[in-house]
Amino acid sequence: MKVALVHDYLTQKGGAERVFELLCKKFPEADIYTSLYNPQNTIDVDNRQVHTTRLQSIPGASQYFRLLAPFYFSAFEALDLQQYDLIISSTTSFAKAVVKRSDAFHICFCHNITRFLWDTRTYIDQYKDYRALLPIIQVIFRKLRQIDLDHAQKPDLYISNSTTVAERIQQTYKRPAITVNYPIDASRFEFSDQKDDFYLVSSRLLGYKRIDVIVEAFNWLGWPLLITGDGPERARLEAMALPNISFLGHVSDDERRSLMSRAKAVIVAALEDYGLVPIEANVSGTPVISY
């Protein structure tokens, strides 16, 4: 049986990418497809070939991948996957658009519905540079919503990471979903009951993650806080942070593992669809403070 694994874009390393990394390990003979690939900024696929879409040839595409939103659906449709018996897509947006052979089977691991289309204002609030373009964006996104609905009918089976996401899939796409709480690779974390004198945030620096709430709290508390990860909110967060708060940017897996096991607690303030970070913290023997 020939298997294809498909992910939206491999240009970052968030929870969805770590789940896709596990899928790649479970299917070592499968071929890997994505729209854009930046090996320096994403998961390790053990030197396997990664097939990309035509968007990969656009200069700067991996850095400004969000600006290409109107073009992803057609790019995934153009991928030739007719040789595959099983297609497993991992998506929060576009990868479900791939076209399968009529007798093939498509399983969609849907981490969320296409959030920027169905909750546009909240999404744009994360990227303040785009706010002036909101009227134009809303017109484009209105058309993309129907395209998203059409492509959402393609998978044969939906798997969601939580009952919350399953409800969104049913409500928006009118498709049932099986809920499977995604696993983590526990062997990649270190359990420790010896804690150092710092608290930890491990997150992409996006508006909906509400890192600003955490920064405000630790400004008031004066406790040492380390923040790993990067994103469009970094400059604003650094400007408001006092000296007890340090921004480490992207860190290696080894450093992240060490920080996770040594922190007094991991701090989370986002309303997550299904967050992996609290689970990773608990596997490391570290409590989670959530707001």
How many domains does the chain fold into?
Answer: 2
Residues 23/90, Cβ–Cβ less than 8 Å: yes
Q: What's the confidence (pLDDT) of residue 89?
A: 98
Residue after which a domain boundary falls, among 125, 158, 179: 179
Pair (155, 17) in one structural domain? yes
Q: Residue 10 and residue 214: Cα distance in Å, rounded?
A: 28
Q: What's the confidence (pLDDT) of residue 58?
A: 94
Cβ neighbourhood burial of 139 (10 Å; 0-12, 13-18, 19+): exposed
Q: What's the confidence (pLDDT) of residue 13?
A: 87
Q: What's the confidence (pLDDT) of residue 124?
A: 63
Share of the chain above pLDDT 90, in %: 74
Pair (12, 152) in one structural domain? yes
Q: What's the confidence (pLDDT) of residue 122?
A: 64
Q: What's the confidence (pLDDT) of residue 25?
A: 94
Q: Is the pLDDT of residue 242 over 90?
A: yes
For the stretch 91-148, pLDDT in tens is: 999 999 999 999 999 999 999 999 889 886 666 666 666 667 777 878 888 899 999 9
Q: Is the pLDDT of residue 208 over 90?
A: no
Nearest one of 214, 189, 185, 193 to 262, comparing CA atoms: 193
Pair (154, 203) in one structural domain? no
Q: What's the confidence (pLDDT) of residue 64?
A: 84
Q: Is the pLDDT of residue 253 over 90?
A: no
Q: Which two tokens stand for residue 7?
A: 């992910």
**pTM of the complete model:** 0.80
For residues 231-260, average pLDDT:
94
For residues 46-53, average pLDDT:
96
Pair (121, 56) in one structural domain? yes
Pair (134, 106) in one structural domain? yes
Q: Residue 262 and residue 247: Cα distance in Å, rounded?
A: 17
Pair (70, 192) in one structural domain? no
Q: Residue 200 and residue 122: Cα distance in Å, rounded?
A: 26
Pair (127, 97) in one structural domain? yes
- What residues make up the domain containing 69? 3-179
H-helix or E-strand spanning residue 29: none
Nearest one of 270, 269, 289, 291 to 281, comparing CA atoms: 289
For residues 228-240, average pLDDT:
93
Q: Is the pLDDT of residue 15 over 90?
A: no
Q: Residue 206 and residue 24: Cα distance in Å, rounded?
A: 27
Q: What's the confidence (pLDDT) of residue 98?
A: 98
Share of the chain above pLDDT 70, in %: 96
Pair (165, 194) in one structural domain? no
